[in-house]
Chains A and B, each alone.
Chain A
Amino acid sequence: MQITDISLWGVALMVVLMALAVALFLLIDRREMMRVLKVFGLTLGQMILAGVGVWLVYKVDAWWMDILWLLIMLALSGAWCLYEMKWQVKKLALPLAAALVAGCLVAGGSMMLTLPGRCFVSVFGVLLAYMITSITLTLQTYQRCLYHTESHRLYLQANGATKLESLMPGIRRALRASIQPQLRTMAQPLLVAMPLLFAGMLLGGASPVAGVFVLLLLMVAAFVASVVAGVVAVGLYSKLSC
């Protein structure tokens, strides 16, 4: 699809419909309306920034620009994870950075061997989105687990467990948490609710066969990225903090 395929009249209609929907909220729930407007405004602003970034990457069309974009995205993803985890920079910066890089290298690297170079931005964009949720959930679950089971760990270590053996229940729980978001998405009835990614590829002009195939590949890559990132995050966190 090209920008020229979009009808201006259609856009105008959408804006009017949006204004009507907001007006309805103005009548029934003014506070919620303000929230809706704020979220829409933020989304618009971020989409413009993201769009400009990706446009630049496509415009320059060089390997170094792709890498630069990835580095910026890695830094932003790390910062977002830290924000979600209340800025525990000292404890989490290293495990987070290593997890993001490892996930990208393993899963993203394999995907780039499979797909053409122009897919770089979309592939890493999807992987980072999955990894942010997965790493945050993994580390949050692990930290909670370590706190709740402190006496367990002492008990197990006092009765024959190595440090790793005593940490295993927490590690198991954290890794289970790392794949939950993706499993939830995959467990949706796909025939009823079409995956957004698939719909996006169809909008972009991909054939349905290619769309399904790439979607499945991306799901596998995202799963691998989540597992690799989870293992690295938990492993490093244990080494540094336990």
Chain B
Amino acid sequence: MLELNEVLVEGAANTVSMMAQERQMTCLTGGTAQVRSHLLLAILGLVPVKSGFVNIDGEPLERQTMKKLRKMMAYVPSELRAEGEVTVYEPPSVQDLFMLKDNREAAISNGLLTEEMKRTCAPQEKAQLLAMAVLRQRPILLVENPAIESAGYLKGLARDGRIVVVASEERAILDMADEIIEI
């Protein structure tokens, strides 16, 4: 279970509390896109929390537990882009991700990836990011602004036993969610 208790992140006006359960799709909505993004990154321990705390399976997310708890999660950003102006942009490739020590045991091949990408029903770029995270086989999946075509797929992942937390404003995604948290 993933629990947020009165969590306040940078840029947010209100604190957020929620309990995301296994086999459930939880949707964070409202606020700005930046605040929703910060909340997902705060769950991963990648941006600081101003107040409140995050618990995963009863264990608080702290400096000491961060690495261990982060291993339970996979994250899908809205998009990958370079900050500022660059002439050539090279986002991290599939190889970059699955060459990481932590991901070497994950089953990955071109065939598997293509198949998973098709299942997401999302446009190419979003489908690849989502499929890569799903193939890491982590119990908690955090997704920022998924494509609306992927709503059913995400719900299916939750039904298969994962904790799926989505940040979105799209009606199609909200309709599929088991729980909606207004920021």
Measured CB to CB, the residues of A under 8 A from B are 147-152, 154-162, 165, 169
Contact with A along B59-98 (1 / 0, CB 8 A): 0000000000011011101001111101000011000110
B102 in the interface (beta carbon within 8 A):
yes
Q: Is the CB of B86 within 8 A of A156?
A: no
Given the interface pairs A154-B41, A154-B46, A165-B100, the reply to whether A159 lies near B75 with Cβ below 8 Å is yes
Contacts of B82 in A (CB 8 A): 148-149, 151-152
Q: Which residue of B lies closest to A152 (CB)?
A: B92
Instruction: State the CA gap A234–B4 with chains docked (Å).
Output: 37
Dominant secondary structure of chain A at its interface with chain B: helix
Given the interface pairs A155-B75, A158-B46, A159-B75, the reply to whether A165 lies near B101 with Cβ below 8 Å is yes
Q: Is the CB of B100 within 8 A of A155?
A: no
Given the interface pairs A148-B86, A152-B92, the reply to whether A158 lies near B80 with Cβ below 8 Å is no
Partner of B74, one of A147, A154, A159, A165: A159
Given the interface pairs A154-B41, A154-B46, A165-B100, the reply to whether A159 lies near B80 with Cβ below 8 Å is no
Contacts of B91 in A (CB 8 A): 152
B27 in the interface (beta carbon within 8 A):
no
Given the interface pairs A156-B92, A156-B96, A158-B46, the reply to whether A151 lies near B102 with Cβ below 8 Å is no
Greatest chain B CB density within 10 A among A151, A160, A165 is at: A160
Partner of A158, one of B44, B81, B86: B44
Closest 9 CB pairs of A and B: A160-B102, A158-B75, A148-B82, A160-B103, A160-B100, A158-B44, A161-B100, A150-B83, A148-B86
Report the minimum CB–CB distance from B96 to chain A (whole Å): 7
Contacts of B155 in A (CB 8 A): none
Q: Is the CB of B103 within 8 A of A155?
A: no
B133 in the interface (beta carbon within 8 A):
yes
B136 in the interface (beta carbon within 8 A):
yes
Q: Is the CB of A156 within 8 A of B100?
A: yes
Given the interface pairs A155-B80, A155-B92, the reply to whether A162 lies near B41 with Cβ below 8 Å is no
Report the minimum CB–CB distance from B10 to chain A (whole Å): 14
Instruction: State the CA gap A154–B46 with chains docked (Å).
Output: 7
11 A–B contact pairs at CB < 8 A?
A147-B84, A150-B83, A151-B77, A151-B82, A152-B91, A155-B92, A158-B73, A160-B71, A160-B100, A160-B101, A160-B136
Contacts of A158 in B (CB 8 A): 41, 44, 46, 70, 73-75, 142
Measured CB to CB, the residues of B under 8 A from A are 41, 44, 46, 70-71, 73-75, 77, 80-84, 86, 91-92, 96-97, 100-103, 132-133, 136, 142
Instruction: State the CA gap A169–B142 with chains docked (Å).
Output: 25
Contacts of B142 in A (CB 8 A): 158
Q: Is the CB of A147 within 8 A of B92?
A: no
Q: Which residue of B lies closest to A168 (CB)?
A: B96
Q: Which residue of B lies closest to A148 (CB)?
A: B82
Q: Which residue of B lies closest to A165 (CB)?
A: B100
Given the interface pairs A147-B84, A160-B97, the reply to whether A155 lies near B77 with Cβ below 8 Å is yes
Extra contacts besides A152-B92, A158-B75, A160-B71 (8): CB < 8 Å: A147-B83, A148-B83, A148-B84, A151-B80, A152-B80, A152-B91, A159-B75, A169-B96
Contacts of A161 in B (CB 8 A): 100, 102
Contacts of B75 in A (CB 8 A): 155, 158-159
Instruction: State the CA gap A155–B84 with chains docked (Å).
Output: 17
Q: Is the CB of B97 within 8 A of A156?
A: yes
Contacts of A152 in B (CB 8 A): 80, 82, 91-92
Q: Which residue of A lies closest to B43 (CB)?
A: A158
Q: Which residue of B lies closest to A156 (CB)?
A: B92
Partner of B83, one of A151, A156, A169: A151
Instruction: State the CA gap A150–B103 with chains docked (Å).
Output: 21
